[in-house]
Amino acid sequence: MVVHLPVLLNEAIDALAIKTDGVYVDGTFGYGGHSRLILSRLGKKGRLIAFDKDLAAIKAAAMIDDKRFSIRHCSYVKIQNELLALRVERVDGVLLDLGVSSSQLDESTRGFSFRLEGPLDMRMDTSCGQTAAEWLNSVTESQLEEVIRNYGEERNAKQIARAIVMARARHPISSTIQLAEIVAAVVRARGYQREGKHHPATRTFQAIRIYLNQELEELLLTLPQCVDLLNPGGRLVAISFHSLEDRIVKRFMRTEASSDRLPHKLPLRDREVKALSKQRLRLVGKATRPGAQEIAVNPRARSAVMRVAERIIISE
């Protein structure tokens, strides 16, 4: 059985400031570590609604026999519509534990890991969409370079894209190890050493996964919905695992916590100025990172950053 260790477990649930009769959302159920702790702090009238695209997570959620709990098989990007369907207009907290889980990385058939031999899938939701193999064997070289550079922040994007296109011309790319070896050969040939213990293919695999699952685009669309849904005093807690995610969360929270959100030199009506000038969030504490003890138990936690904001209402 694959074991998933929730990152910043107690810190995240403490940050939600759980009300016993509150309504909460776990936007990324995974294997339920955060959800179970939320349920343990809710009273009989409390409610938890979880979301996940992964069918394995939906199966794991079936093990929770609790009338206060329900899960939706979809992305958190649909949070407003799904909650409205459940007749939930406001919530007291939203938790977003972003990125890929240890369970997904450790399952070779999912194709997320460059260390395990398996089919190149990389889909969070295996019931729909294009696999990484299908995309890699059809994408143009220029688009591939753009994805690797923009989503992986990879300095060797041009050379890696060229190598992949040349390799697929000889034989379709279908396995994780096959792709990892192509990328590693390019990076090593160009004399670049990865920081720490990072594999040369880390950034390329990250880029393809993020692009295929539209992770950043969905995050950008979801954050404003979360704020709209929060009751006054409700908390938004987001745990990020790489700079692209954290940059989006940080900028969004800072902007929503500012009273000056007006677009530069854009003509607006008076009512539009009032709406855009209204501060909606306040930042709660500073960014939190896992301690040495947690990292020792779960090395994958080392890159995690948690940010917290609280919904406020400014009187007219």
Helix, strand, or coil here: 230? strand
Is 95:26 a contact under the CB 8 Å cutoff? yes
Across the strands, what pairs with 95?
Answer: 26, 237
**Any binding-site annotation on 104?**
yes
**Any binding-site annotation on 97?**
yes
**Any binding-site annotation on 270?**
no
**Any binding-site annotation on 54?**
no
Helix, strand, or coil here: 164? helix
Any idea what the Cα angle at residue 51 is, between residues 47 and 57, rounded to 5°?
110
Is 171:159 a contact under the CB 8 Å cutoff? no
**Any binding-site annotation on 199?**
no
Q: Where do we find the tokens 């990879």?
A: 154
The pair of structure tokens assigned to 133 is 């193999």
In angstroms, the CA 240 to CA 249 distance is 8
**Any binding-site annotation on 65?**
no
**Any binding-site annotation on 26?**
no
Is 284:15 a contact under the CB 8 Å cutoff? yes
Phi/psi-derived region of residue 285, left when phi > 0, alpha when psi is between -120 and 50, beta in every other case: left
Annotated binding site for S-adenosyl-L-methionine: 32-34, 52, 76, 97, 104
Annotated binding site: 32-34, 52, 76, 97, 104
